Chains A and B, each alone.
Chain A
Amino acid sequence: DIVVTQSPVTLSVSLGERVTLSCRASQRVSGNLAWYQQKPGQAPRLLIYGTSTRATGIPARFSGSGSGTECTLTINSLQSEDFAIYYCQQYHNWPLTFGQGTKVEIK
Chain B
Amino acid sequence: QVQLVEFGGGVVQAGRSLRLSCEASGFLFSSFGMHWVRQAPGKGLEWVAIISHDGSEAYYADSVKGRFTISRDNSKNTLYLQMNSLRAEDTAVYDCAKDLGGLLGIFDSWGQGTLVTVSS
Within 8 Å of chain A (Cβ to Cβ): is B88? no
Q: Is the CB of B105 within 8 A of A98?
A: no
How far is A38 from B112 in the complex, measured between Cα atoms in Å? 12
Query: Are A101 and B107 in touch, CB under 8 angstroms?
Result: no
The reply to whether B107 and A46 contact each other, CB–CB distance below 8 Å, is: yes
CB-contacts of A49-107 with B (<8 A): 49, 55-56, 87, 89, 91, 94-101
**Contact size range, A:** 20 to 34
Shortest beta-carbon distance from A100 to chain B in Å: 5
> Is B90 in the interface zone, CB < 8 Å from A?
no
Cα distance A43–B100 when bound, in Å? 16
Stretch at the interface among B11-19, B24-32, B42-50, B78-86: B42-50
Who on chain A is nearest to B100 by CB?
A: A49
Contact-residue size bin, chain B (C-beta under 8 Å from the other chain) = 20 to 34
Nearest-neighbour CB distance to chain B for A66, whole angstroms, equals 16
Q: How far is the CA of A36 from the CA of B97 in the complex (A)?
A: 13
Least Cβ–Cβ distance between B41 and chain A, in angstroms: 13
Chain B residues contacting A34 (CB-CB under 8 Å) are: 106-107
Indicate if the CB atoms of A91 and B44 lie closer than 8 Å: no
Identify which of B47, B95, B109, B113 contacts A95 (C-beta below 8 A): B47
Q: Tell whether A101 pairs with B44 under 8 Å between CB atoms, given A1-B62, A43-B95, A49-B100.
A: yes
- Do B46 and A44 touch across chains, with their CB atoms under 8 A apart? no
Contact B45 A44 (CB under 8 A): yes
Chain B residues with a Cβ under 8 A of chain A: 44-47, 50, 59-62, 95, 100, 104-113
